[in-house]
Amino acid sequence: MKRSMHFRVRRRKNKARRHVRRGTERDHELKGTTQEGVDVVDDRTLSSALMDRFAGPTEAACDQLQLQEDARLLQRLKQELEQPTATLLERRQLLPIFGQLKILSRKQHIRTAIGPEGIRSLIRHLIESKHLAKVAAEGANVILNVCYEKSNVNVVLESGGTSTLVSFLSSDDEELQANAAGALQSICFQPEGRVIVRNLGAIPALVKLLDVPSVNVKARAVGALHNMSSDVYAIRVMRRKGGIKSLVKLLRSEHSSVCGSAAGALQNVSREIASRLIIRESQALPLLVGLLSHSEVQAQVSAAGALLNVLGPEMNETCASRNAMDKKRKAFVRTVTSMLVASLVYDACFTSGPSKDSYSFHQLKHASEPCSQGSSSGV
């Protein structure tokens, strides 16, 4: 009996020793070595490996949950928009609904999921609440975001929302002016949008906003005109309404969003002979040359394009032969390109440098594309 009890006690002690030994080995492994001195992965590397193993599925699951939550919220907001505008205004619900839609519509999947009926409801409430500047400004922000999708632009144009946005340009409220101009900028990114906005008489109102004190209003208005200037007929209207001289003045702006869009608009309007003459007479050339060393690559490229458009045709007149004309044009292009390269090298070495989505050199052409559609974050 005593012998059996002694055997059990001894077995328990041996088991305890083995447990302590294994625990000690694990401690050494976490510190970087085992008892035998063999190098193993340290605790930070081990943690990183575990994170890499499990973070992917976790992030994917979180993204899926967020998509589902966004879809539920969008569906609820669309149902609320089915109510009469007067009811939503009486309950003070319309402004918060517009605010939530503005945030949601920054996401591409929401902009595509809102659908034609949701946009028509949005336009209906915007029109019926246009007498309330704060509500209308928030609604215009939603239009700005949803019009990043071409299909949504078509719905806005068919629903009559564009004329309401144009009318907001003449408001006394700066926020409403800026948001309406931003929405029109998004709409004018599409060719059919440019035609309708031009026919609604938006260009004179936008040109007028170029002289207001508010930088935000100026930036949105010049952005809309930049997109409008891709339309040949819009260029004539801008010239007749004094828009070219106003654009030249904005080249002096300290704000890159203003001077960059102004240079882009001038690049487009300089395709017209009459506009080129006004640009030269307005002393724009020194300002455009100055923008070649701007910190924003988009402003640099637009300025270079405007210079090529303004000065390039004159080379044809001063050259006796086609061969001489080609040589002179190529020399001029090399000069402008060299200035751009020098500016880019300087930015890369001494500043933060251009962003990864900055313009590339192949975009240096005689007619610029429409500019970006405005900030999708709203105001």
Tokens standing for 208?
A: 């007028």
Cβ partners under 8 Å of residue 230, min gap 6:
191, 194, 268, 367, 368, 369, 370
pTM (predicted TM-score): 0.74
Do 231 and 321 lie in a common domain?
Answer: yes
Do 153 and 181 lie in a common domain?
Answer: no
Task: Say what the pLDDT of residue 121 is.
Answer: 97
Do 119 and 79 lie in a common domain?
Answer: yes
In a domain, 248, yes or no: yes
Do 149 and 250 lie in a common domain?
Answer: no
In a domain, 47, yes or no: no
Q: How many structural domains comprise the chain?
A: 2
pLDDT tens digits along 261-300: 999 999 999 999 999 999 999 999 999 989 988 888 888 8
Do 149 and 223 lie in a common domain?
Answer: no
Tokens standing for 39?
A: 């190098």
Task: Say what the pLDDT of residue 19 is.
Answer: 54
Cβ partners under 8 Å of residue 59, min gap 6:
none
Task: Say what the pLDDT of residue 356 is.
Answer: 37
Domain boundary among the residues 98, 130, 159 is at: 159
Do 192 and 337 lie in a common domain?
Answer: yes
Task: Say what the pLDDT of residue 318 is.
Answer: 53
Do 153 and 285 lie in a common domain?
Answer: no
Task: Say what the pLDDT of residue 309 is.
Answer: 87
In a domain, 49, yes or no: no
Neighbours of 84 (CB within 10 A): 11
In a domain, 38, yes or no: no
Do 194 and 237 lie in a common domain?
Answer: yes
Task: Say what the pLDDT of residue 113 is.
Answer: 96
Containing structural domain, residue 141 = 68-159
In a domain, 375, yes or no: yes
In a domain, 45, yes or no: no
pLDDT < 50 positions in the chain: 2, 20, 29-38, 41, 353-368, 375-379
Task: Say what the pLDDT of residue 373 is.
Answer: 62
Residue among 182, 105, 112 at smallest CA distance from 140: 182
Q: Angle at Cα 298 formed by Cα 374 and Cα 261, nearest 5°? A: 50
Q: What is the mean pLDDT of the chain?
A: 81
Do 131 and 224 lie in a common domain?
Answer: no
Do 123 and 202 lie in a common domain?
Answer: no
Do 248 and 329 lie in a common domain?
Answer: yes
Q: Angle at Cα 203 formed by Cα 201 and Cα 205, nearest 5°? A: 85
Do 241 and 187 lie in a common domain?
Answer: yes
In a domain, 165, yes or no: no
For residues 141 and 143, give the distance between their C-alpha atoms in angstroms, rounded to a whole number.
5
Residue among 162, 80, 176, 151 at smallest CA distance from 123: 162
Domain boundary among the residues 111, 132, 159 is at: 159
Domain boundary among the residues 129, 159, 189 is at: 159
In a domain, 280, yes or no: yes
Q: Angle at Cα 306 formed by Cα 212 and Cα 308, nearest 5°? A: 165
For residues 251 and 264, give the distance between their C-alpha atoms in angstroms, rounded to a whole number.
10
Buried b (16+ CB within 10 A) or exposed e, 142-163: bbbbbbbbeebbbbbbebebbe
- What CATH number should be reported for the domain holding residue 214? 1.25.10.10
